[in-house]
Structure 1
Amino acid sequence: MTTRTTRSSRGRRSGPSHAVHRGQRGRGPVLVAVAALAVLGAAAFAAVDEGSSGAGTTPAGDRGGSTERARSGRVGAAGPAHGSRSPSPGPAATSASPGPRTSLTPNIPATGPGTFVTATGGSTRVGSGTPLRYRVDVENGIGLSTADVARQVEHILADPRGWTADGHSAFQRVSSGPTDFVVRVATPGTVDRICGEYGLDTGGEVNCDVAEQVMVNLKRWLLATPVYAHRVKDYRALIINHEVGHFLGHGHAGCPGPGQPAPVMMQQIKGMHGCLPNVWPYDEKGRYLTGPAVS
């Protein structure tokens, strides 16, 4: 079962994303965006990020970090959503240690029970303003430590290059009570099922963000994508920052120019277009890293 969470009334705008609505496969690359956590209405809207496209257009190995979002019970029609981002040049994204290599591919179960364990405890508030409360869940039986996953998510959202650098965003992890969103790591099959309930086709490969749930595909969490094959922990920062960026109202952005850091809101999974890998919204000097808007 999915967990429906309460949402804060912060204004969020919609923007394009990368999920494929059921029935659209074979029609070429499709950007299914669902306004990044904007107030939704009875028609839940969803958006997939970080690179999912129509069937037959992207090799399975390159469809890695897509995140979809769908909202429930809020005013507004479905709209495009946004993509995920990559690590920027310079200091390593999350913890500079390289992640596991694709040659050491772990045994990833195709699907799981669809039940989750919530990471216990919580974090202090990071950032300014009223914090967005979030929870971290891990699907049962997939071999991940909830404490470890929660710790990594906390570090990503607390990084000075993250969304708190905008001067008004704040986050706090909780294990009970009302939440604004939930980060859930699950098997490909469970992600497909939950995202599919909102009309999104994640194809066993990509992530999605639906109904205040950031659904992280276990395959992407462990293997990342070819560009980040040796920087898996950095790629996890891209997944979280991209999806939370949608939640905050940021739309997709394109590469600002060859040799420049790829915006976190760029669908890097679809190609770098001359930009350098980067997983943070801001650089070390507090400058927002973005590019031309992508509809």
Structure 2
Amino acid sequence: MRHADNRRGRRSQHPARTRRRRVRERAARRRRLLGLAAVAAVALTAFGAVRWQSDDPHSADQAATSPHPPSATLPPSPQGPANGSPSPSPSSSASASSPQTKESSADRRVAKSGTGVFSTAAANGGPVGKGTIRRYTVQAEGGTGVSASTAAKEIAAVLGDRRGWTANGHDGFQLVSSGQSDFEVKIATPDTVDRICGAAGLRTRGEVNCNVGNQVIVNLKRWLTGSPQFPGSLHEYRALIINHEVGHRIGHGHESCPGPGRPAPVMMQQIDGLHGCRANAWPYDTSGGYLEGPSVP
């Protein structure tokens, strides 16, 4: 009995130590539980994130295929296909029909230089118009590919047209093949035009026509291709060339556009732009009215 009493006495002698031990044990258990709870929470969070991505049918594809992820430094965008060739322009079909493109393709058929020797058309015609009748010949340079006789027929038709200079009632023309003439119409290659016109101090730059001495020099390039500024037919542009240069021969100077939408005077240098006027190849309209504009000093 004493022995048992002694054990109970020892337990009763240290109640505070026992309570502290139990408190430490409970605290240790709480820490272990909190740790397990934290691990579980992390696992659940990760699991939830994975479930969120897999529930969005596009998110995984977007992340894998997006070329520009957020906050990434983007490389310079390419300027064309990998081979360096420019991308086709959607407007390329429209530019293929522009006057500039038509002229460029026709330019390939134009001889830049010829023989320098001219053949005269074996063609004659009766006088057209009244008053002063000017006799003229038509010539083509060798190497142009232009038939002088064919060109002579077209030029005679232009000078005899009722919208031409004969409508003024005091100027007339006659195509001849020989004998005395008042002027010559010469169709020449660009290099020959530059040489003949340049000798008179005129700069034609292989592009334009000139009137020098008793010669109307028609640039082959303009005869075959027209002008980017003239939307009419090639025949109409040839009429403009002849009417403009012959106009100089009978005393007319340059004129300018009389106003937006009005016909451009034939003495206007239409190859330099229409400036609001409508392209026109004739000095007179069908009613006999002169299509004039302000004189150019």
**TM-score, L = length of structure 1:** 0.64
1:262 maps to what in 2? 264
1:192 maps to what in 2? 194
1:119 matched to 2:121? yes
Equivalent residues of 2:229, 2:272 under 8 A apart? no
1:239 maps to what in 2? 241
2:208 maps to what in 1? 206
1:252 matched to 2:254? yes
Q: Amino acid of the residue matched to residue 147 of structure 1?
A: S
1:182 maps to what in 2? 184
Distance across 2 between alignment mates of 1:190 and 1:240:
18
Larger Rg: 2
1:26 maps to what in 2? none
Higher share of residues assigned helix: 2
1:152 matched to 2:154? yes
Equivalent residues of 1:264, 1:280 under 8 A apart? yes
SS at match of 1:200: coil
1:102 maps to what in 2? 103
Q: Amino acid of the residue matched to residue 165 of structure 1?
A: A
Equivalent residues of 2:253, 2:296 under 8 A apart? yes
1:222 maps to what in 2? 224
Q: Amino acid of the residue matched to residue 135 of structure 1?
A: T
Note the C-alpha offset of 1:229. 5.5
SS at match of 2:292: coil
SS at match of 2:293: coil
292 and 230 in structure 1: CA distance in 2 versus 1, 3 angstrom threshold: closer
Equivalent residues of 2:112, 2:189 under 8 A apart? yes
Q: Amino acid of the residue matched to residue 270 of structure 1?
A: D
What is the aligned-residue RMSD (CA, Å)? 1.5
Q: Amino acid of the residue matched to residue 151 of structure 1?
A: K
Distance across 2 between alignment mates of 1:194 and 1:223:
21
1:12 maps to what in 2? none
Q: Amino acid of the residue matched to residue 296 of structure 2?
A: V
1:77 maps to what in 2? none
2:138 maps to what in 1? 136
Q: Amino acid of the residue matched to residue 200 of structure 2?
A: Y
Q: Which deviations, in whole Å up to 9, do the C-alpha atoms of 1:102-121 show, x marking residues without a partner?
A: 36414212111110000002
Where do residues 74-113 of structure 1 align in structure 2 (5 Å cutoff)? Answer: 101-102=102-103, 104-105=105-106, 106-113=108-115
Note the C-alpha offset of 1:227. 2.5
What is the identity percentage for the equivalent residue pairs of Structure 1 and Structure 2? 56
SS at match of 2:135: strand
Note the C-alpha offset of 1:146. 1.3
SS at match of 2:254: coil
Distance across 1 between alignment mates of 2:221 and 2:172:
29
Q: Which deviations, in whole Å up to 9, do the C-alpha atoms of 1:49-74 show, x marking residues without a partner?
A: xxxxxxxxxxxxxxxxxxxxxxxxxx
Distance across 2 between alignment mates of 1:127 and 1:216:
23
SS at match of 1:226: coil
Distance across 2 between alignment mates of 1:121 and 1:237:
19
**TM-score, L = length of structure 2:** 0.64
2:90 maps to what in 1? none
Q: What 5-or-longer segments of structure 2 have no aligned partner?
A: 1-101
Q: Which moved more, 1:199-208 or 1:211-220?
A: 199-208
Note the C-alpha offset of 1:199. 1.4
Q: What 5-or-longer segments of structure 1 have no aligned partner?
A: 1-100
1:55 maps to what in 2? none
2:280 maps to what in 1? 278
Equivalent residues of 1:223, 1:229 under 8 A apart? no
SS at match of 1:236: helix
SS at match of 2:186: strand
SS at match of 1:143: coil
SS at match of 1:259: coil
Equivalent residues of 2:229, 2:270 under 8 A apart? no
Note the C-alpha offset of 1:268. 1.2
Note the C-alpha offset of 1:290. 0.3
Equivalent residues of 1:228, 1:234 under 8 A apart? no
Note the C-alpha offset of 1:209. 0.9
